[in-house]
């Protein structure tokens, strides 16, 4: 490599741009590597009563669960009229 290129401002621009992009890509990769963890108790969002065949009453419960990445997961659960879990 010739030392004359070190005086070229475009060389420094491309070098700094490449370093900046590599730093951003590594930051994104390292952020996504964290394991997904639940940060709080599930929050009941909705509850729907459904009457099926034979007049068996069932309830669909929908929960929102917050994670350490700022995402919200949704979970559903079926319950019989006597309160037992049917999952």
Tell me the per-residue pLDDT of 23-82, one tens digit each, with 9 for 90 and over. Answer: 999 998 988 888 888 998 999 999 988 876 667 788 899 999 999 888 899 999 988 876
Could you give the 3-state DSSP secondary structure of residue 7? helix
Residue 7: what pLDDT?
81
Kindly state whether residue 16 falls inside one of the protein's structural domains: yes
Q: Tell me what pLDDT residue 6 has.
A: 77
Residue 78 and residue 58 in contact, taking contact as beta carbons nearer than 8 Å: yes
Q: How many domains does the chain have?
A: 2
Residue 10 parent element (H or E)? helix 9-32
Examine residue 85 and state whether it is found in any structural domain, yes or no. no
Give me the domain span that covers residue 25.
3-32
The per-residue pLDDT for 40 is 87
86 belongs to a structural domain:
no
Contact assessment for residue 70 and residue 80, using Cβ atoms and an 8 Å cutoff: no
Q: Kindly report the pTM of this predicted structure.
A: 0.53
Phi first, then psi: what are they for 27, rounded to 5°?
-65, -40
- Shared domain for 27 and 49, answered yes or no, is no
Specify whether the CB–CB gap between 80 and 86 falls below 8 A. Answer: yes
């Amino acid at each position: 490599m010739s030392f004359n290129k070190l005086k070229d401002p475009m060389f420094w621009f491309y070098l700094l741009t490449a370093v900046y992009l590599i730093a951003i890509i590594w930051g994104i990769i390292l952020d996504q590597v964290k394991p997904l963890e639940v940060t709080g108790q599930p929050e009941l969002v909705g509850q729907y009563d459904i009457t099926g065949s034979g007049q068996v009453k069932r309830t669909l419960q929908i929960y929102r669960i917050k994670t350490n990445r700022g995402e919200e997961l949704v979970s559903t659960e079926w319950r019989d009229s006597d309160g037992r879990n049917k999952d």
